[in-house]
Amino acid sequence: MEIRSFYPQPRLLMGPGPSDVSDRVLSALSRPTIGHLDPDFIFLMDEIKLLLQYAFQTDNALTLPVSAPGSAGMETVFVNLIEPGDKVVVCRNGAFGERMRENVVRCGGHAVMVDSKWGEAVQLDQLERALDDNPDAVAVAAVHAETSTGVCSDVQAIATLADKHNCLSIIDAVTSLGGIPVKVDEWGIDAIYSGTQKCLSCVPGLSPVSFNDKAVQRITARKHPVQSWFLDLNLVIGYWGKGSQTGGKRSYHHTAPVNNLYALHESLLMLKEETLSASWQRHQLNHQALKAGIECLGLSFAVSADVRLPQLNTINVPEGVNEAQLRQQLLNDWQIEIGAGLGDLAGKVWRIGLMGHSASQPKVLTLISALAACLVAQGGSVDSLAAVKSATKVYESAGN
Amino acid sequence: MEIRSFYPQPRLLMGPGPSDVSDRVLSALSRPTIGHLDPDFIFLMDEIKLLLQYAFQTDNALTLPVSAPGSAGMETVFVNLIEPGDKVVVCRNGAFGERMRENVVRCGGHAVMVDSKWGEAVQLDQLERALDDNPDAVAVAAVHAETSTGVCSDVQAIATLADKHNCLSIIDAVTSLGGIPVKVDEWGIDAIYSGTQKCLSCVPGLSPVSFNDKAVQRITARKHPVQSWFLDLNLVIGYWGKGSQTGGKRSYHHTAPVNNLYALHESLLMLKEETLSASWQRHQLNHQALKAGIECLGLSFAVSADVRLPQLNTINVPEGVNEAQLRQQLLNDWQIEIGAGLGDLAGKVWRIGLMGHSASQPKVLTLISALAACLVAQGGSVDSLAAVKSATKVYESAGN
C-alpha cells in the first residue's frame, strides 16, 4: 500500500465540532516548535492564563488548559474533586451528562441522577428535591450547553442551588464558552471545563479548566491521592503555576503540546479583540438568520425556543427525508459537514453548529442554499431564494 | 497588559525533547481542520495505524496514537493492564522508571522495585531475582531509553525474562522509537508506548501505543472497570478500530486532535521514506560525530559507552564551569536549547539530544562551535576548530 502526504479537502464545518479554524490560528499553530521550558514559552503560558481568565470571566488563579481534548478536561475536574465514597448529584439531559456520571463512578463516587428528557433543560425543581433528599452530596454536576441536543441549561441557578446545599458546582462549558455568556465568578461556579474546538474555533486537543478557591481547597485537602498521574492538578500546578504564588518558577511535569498552545493563544487573542459580548451577539445573530432561512424551508427546531442554543441547532428531519443521505450529499456536493443525532435523537435530527469562525453570514447563506438543494434532490418542494432572502434580511436589520 | 500574537524565536532544539520539527511536518500540521468522523479522516487514521505498525515493527492490531502527550500514553498502558491488587515489577534507573511506579500505585497495584543507579542500565540478574522472589507478579515494566540519564536498557532481554515468568512486559519507548532499534514483535514486547516529540520529530501532544493479543486479552478479561474514562481502550477501540474487525465502522469517543494527527502522519511517512535502519544509522553517526567533537573539547560522557544512547547524550559538567550559565548563553547567543540534569544528576550534567530532525551534520557542528565558545567565555581553553574538524572527519569517513 502506497502512502502519500495527506491533503484534506477543505470543508465547511457546521456540525457539533470541530468548527472552522481561521487562517490566523492555523498559521500560529505551525510556527516553529520551541521547548516547553523555554523562557519565551513560559511567557506565552502566562498570557494564555490571562486570556483564559477573560474568556471564563474569572479571577481564578487556577485557570489553565489541560493538555488533551475536552473529555480529559472533564476527567481532570472529576478525578481531582471527587474521592471514593463521595456522593455527586449529576444532571443528565443528554450524552454529556451521562459521561459525567461515568466519571463519578470511575472515581469511586456515587452518582445521584437528576434526569430530564433529551431535548429539555435541567429542571431546577427536580434538582432541588434531589439536593434536599441527599444532604450528604458534595457536588452538583451539570452541562451548560448539551452538544448532543442543543439545549442550554441555567447553570447560574444550578450553581446557586449547589451553593445553598453546601455543594461544589461542576459545570461543563465545552460548547458554551465564547458562544453564549459564561460568567464563572458572577455565577459562583466552583469548577468548569471547556474545549478549544467549539466556539473558540481553535484546533481540537486542549481543554481549558478553571477552579475557584473553594474547589482548590477541596483538592489540597484530599485524603486519597488523585487516581490519574497525568491529570493530577497538584503536579500540573507545578508546571503551569498557580497565579502569582509561583514567582515564575516552573517544574517539569509533562511535555506540553507546544504548537497547540500557540494556536490557543491566537484564538483567545482573537476573542479578546472581538470582545466576548460581540462574540455572543454574533452567534445569536447567525442563529437568527439560520432560523429564518430553515423555517422558510419548512424545517423546524427539535428544541423549544426558550432553551435553544444559538451555536448548536437541532433540526427535525422531515417525514420522508433520508437523513444520512442528505448529510452525505452536503458533504460530497457542497463540502459541508453537519452532525447526525446521537442517542435518543439518532436518525431523528440534524445538528447544525454555528460555532466560532463557522458563525458567519457567507457560511450560513451557503448552508441554507445547500440544504434547499438537498431537500429538492429528495423530492421536496422548497424555495431556496426565499429562504436565503429571509436570512439575509436578518443580517440587514442588524446593520450587517 | 497588552497581548499580541506570539512569534517564537527560532531555536535549535538539542535537549531531551521536543526535537526540531521539519517544515514538512509543520506544514501538514496547519492544513485545514476537518471533522474527526469525516470519511477522509477515517482514511488518514487507517494509514497512521499502518505507519505506526512499521515504526514499532509490529503486526499488533491494537496500535494507535493516544490523544495526549507521552505521559498519557504511559498512563493508558497502566490503567488498562493493571487492576487493584496486581503486583508489578518495576525497573527504576531514572525519572521515568519512578513515574512508572507512581502509575502502578495509582492503579491500586503493588510495585516491586528493581533499582539501579541513575546512569546505569537495568541489571538483568537483579530483575531475575525479583521475578523469582515474586512469582505472583503479573507484569514487568522498564524504560528502554531513560531520558533522564541517557541510558539504554536491554528490553529484549527484559521482555524474555518477563515471558519466562508469565509476566506481561510493559516498555517505555518514548525516547527510543525511531532513534534506535525497537522491534516489538521480534522481541516479544506485550505493551509499549512512545511520544511524538523525540526521534519522530513531530510536535508534542500524541503518544503512540501498541498492545499484542496477550495484552488485549488481559484488558478484555478485567474484573474492574478501567479507572480512566478518557484512556479506557475498550472505548477508544470503538473509535480507532481494532484492525480489520471493525469493518470501517467508527463510533464517537472523544474529539481527536485532528491537526496533530496530520502532523504525525507526515512525520511517520518521512520515517518510512528514510527507512528505520537509515534513521537508526543517522542517529548513530551524529552521535559519533558529537562524541568526537566534545571529547576534543575535553568533555566526557556520564554514561559508559556500552549503554549510551546515541540520541540522548549526558555530558559531565567540567569542574569550575557554571552549568546553568552555559545553557543560558547557548540559548541567548546561539538560540540553542540543551537540557539540564534531572534528579540525582541535577547540576552535574547536560543532556544533549540528537533526536529526529535535530540529528543532522550542520546542527551538530553548530552545537560543537557553540559549546566551545561558551566554555571559552567561562575561562576555558579549548580548540574550537580542532573539535569541529574531528567531528567533520566522522561524517567524511561515513561518506557524508
Q: Is B253 on the interface with A (CB under 8 A)?
A: yes
Which cell numbers in the block locate residue A335? 463540502
Interface of A with B in 38-57 (CB under 8 A): 38-41, 44, 47, 50-51
Q: Give the nearest partner residue to A205 out of B4, B9, B205, using CB atoms.
A: B205
Q: What are residue A199's phi and psi, to 5 degrees?
A: -75, -10
Chain B residues whose CB is inside 8 A of the A331 CB are 38-39
Q: Report whether A290 contacts A299 (CB < 8 A).
A: no
Nearest CB neighbour to B6, from listed A35, A44, A195? A44
Cell numbers for A238, please give them: 507545578
More reliable by pLDDT, A250 or B259 = B259
Q: What's A23-273's CATH class?
A: alpha beta
Which strand (E) or helix (H) includes residue A339? strand A339-340
Partner-chain residue, chosen from A67, A266, A337, that has the shortest CB–CB distance to B68: A67
What pLDDT, on the 0 to 100 scale, is given for residue B242?
A: 56
Asked whether the predicted pLDDT for residue B21 surpasses 50, the reply is: yes
Q: Which contacts qualify for B114-117: CB closer than 8 Å, 24 or more apart?
A: B114/B89, B114/B90, B116/B91, B116/B92, B117/B93, B117/B344
Residue identified by cell 509543520 is B26
Q: Which of B8, B47, B225 sits opposite A31 (nearest CB)?
A: B8
Q: Does domain A276-397 match CATH 3.40.50.10800?
A: no
Surface-to-core class of residue A125, CB atoms within 10 Å of its CB (0-12 exposed, 13-18 middle, 19+ buried):
exposed
The pLDDT assigned to B243 comes to 47
Closest residue to B7, CB basis, from A31, A50, A269? A31
| Cβ atoms B139, B88 nearer than 8 A | yes
Q: Show residues of chain B in contact with A272, CB under 8 Å.
A: 3
Q: In a mutagenesis test of the A interface, which of B9, B24, B33, B37 is the best target, namely the one with the most A β-carbons within 10 Å?
A: B33
Contact residues on chain A for B202, CB-CB shorter than 8 A: none
pLDDT score at A243: 47
The domains spanning B23-273 and B275-397 adopt the same CATH topology: no
Q: Tell whether A282 lies on the interface with B, counting CB pairs under 8 A.
A: no
A54 contacts in B (CB within 8 Å)?
A: none
Q: Residue written as cell 525474562?
A: B161
Nearest chain B CA: its distance from A35 CA (Å): 6
d(CA B230, CA B128): 35
Chain A, window 184-213: residues with a beta carbon less than 8 angstroms from a chain B beta carbon:
195, 197, 203-205
Residue B302, pLDDT > 90, answer yes
User: Domain locations in chain A?
Assistant: 23-273, 276-397
Secondary structure (DSSP) of A71-127: HHHHHHHHHHH--TT-EEEEEESSHHHHHHHHHHHHTT-EEEEEE--TTSPPPHHHH
Q: A393: distance to nearest CA of chain B, Å?
A: 30
Domain B275-397 CATH class label: alpha beta
| Contacting residues for A84 by C-beta, under 8 A, at least 6 apart | A107, A108, A109, A224
Residues of B (63-92) whose Cβ lies below 8 Å from A? 67-72, 74-75
Angle of helix A323-334 versus helix A361-377 axis, rounded to 10: 120
State the pLDDT at residue A245.
41
Burial class (CB in 10 A: 0-12, 13-18, 19+), B273: exposed
Residue from B6, B26, B271 to probe the interface with A (highest A Cβ count within 10 Å) = B6
Instruction: Identify the pLDDT of residue A138.
Output: 98
State the Cα–Cα distance between residues B137 and B212, nearest whole angstrom: 19
Distance CA B171, CA B245 (A): 26
Do the chains contact at B225 and A40, CB–CB below 8 Å? no
Residue B262 zone, left/alpha/beta (φ > 0; ψ -120 to 50; rest): alpha
Contact B40 A10 (CB under 8 A): no
B99 is in an annotated binding site: no
Q: Do A3 and B71 touch (CB under 8 A)?
A: no
Determine contact: A320 vs chain B, CB below 8 A. Answer: no
Any chain A CB within 8 A of the CB of B245?
A: no
A1 touches chain B (CB under 8 A): yes
Q: What are B37-57's pLDDT values in tens digits? A: 999 999 999 999 999 999 999
Q: Which of A27, A227, A259 is best to mutate for the B interface (most B CBs within 10 A)? A: A259
Separation in Å, CA A159 to CA A57, A141, A210, A289, B121: 15, 9, 15, 32, 54
Are A50 and B1 a contacting pair at CB < 8 A? yes
- Walk along chain A (400 residues) and give the pLDDT tens digit of each residue: 799 999 999 999 999 999 999 999 999 999 999 999 999 999 999 999 999 999 999 999 999 999 999 999 999 999 999 999 999 999 999 999 999 999 999 999 999 999 999 999 999 999 999 999 999 999 999 999 999 999 999 999 999 999 999 999 999 999 999 999 999 999 999 999 999 999 999 999 999 999 999 999 999 999 999 999 999 999 998 888 754 444 556 788 999 999 999 999 999 999 999 999 999 999 999 999 999 999 999 999 999 999 999 999 999 999 999 999 999 999 999 999 999 999 889 999 999 999 999 999 999 999 999 999 999 999 999 999 999 999 999 999 998 7
